[in-house]
Amino acid sequence: MDRLQEIERSIIKTYRGRLWAPFVKALKEYELLKSNDRVCVCISGGKDSMLMAKLFQELKRHSDFEFEVKFLVMNPGYNERNLEHIKNNLELLNIPAEIIDTDIFEIANSQDKTPCYLCARMRRGALYKLASDLGCNKIALGHHYDDVIETTLMNMLNAGSFQTMLPKLHSDNNEGMELIRPLYLIREKDVKAWAKYNDLRFIMCACRFTEACSVDNEINMSQRLTTKKLIQELKENYNENVEKNIFASASNINMNMILGYKKDGEKHSFLDDYDEEEK
Q: What was the pLDDT predicted at 180?
A: 98
Q: What was the pLDDT predicted at 220?
A: 44
Rounded to whole angstroms, the Cα distance separating 77 from 73 reads 11
Kindly report, residue by residue over 183-241, the tens digit of the pLDDT: 999 999 999 999 999 999 999 866 655 544 444 444 444 788 899 999 999 999 999 99
Confidence of residue 119 (pLDDT cuts 50, 70, 90): confident
Q: What is the CATH number of domain 2-220?
A: 3.40.50.620
Task: Residue 34: name the closest of 176, 175, 213, 130 by CA.
Answer: 176
The full length of the chain comes to 279
Q: What was the pLDDT predicted at 118?
A: 79
Question: What are the sequence ranges of the domains in the chain?
Answer: 2-220
Percent of the chain at pLDDT exceeding 70: 91
Mean pLDDT (whole number) for 85-108 = 92
Confidence of residue 279 (pLDDT cuts 50, 70, 90): low
Partners of 269 in beta bridges: 260
Q: What was the pLDDT predicted at 113?
A: 67
State the sign of the Cα–Cα–Cα–Cα dihedral 204, 205, 211, 212: negative
Kindly report, residue by residue over 31-54, the tens digit of the pLDDT: 999 999 999 999 999 999 999 999
Q: What was the pLDDT predicted at 94?
A: 97
Mean pLDDT taken over the chain: 90
Q: What was the pLDDT predicted at 212?
A: 42
The 3-state secondary structure of the chain reads CHHHHHHHHHHHCCCHHHHHHHHHHHHHHCCCCCCCEEEEEECCCCHHHHHHHHHHHHHHHHCCCCEEEEEEEEECCCCHHHHHHHHHHHHHCCCCCEEEECCHHHHHHCCCCCHHHHHHHHHHHHHHHHHHHCCCCEEECCCCHHHHHHHHHHHHHHHCCCCCCCCEEECCCCCCCEEECCCCCCCHHHHHHHHHHCCCCCCCCCCHHHCCCCCCCCCCCCHHHHHHHHHHHHHHHCCCCHHHHHHHHCCCCCHHHCCEEEECCEEEECCCCHHHHHC
* 135: pLDDT strictly greater than 60: yes
C-alpha 110 chain-centroid distance: 27
Confidence of residue 278 (pLDDT cuts 50, 70, 90): low
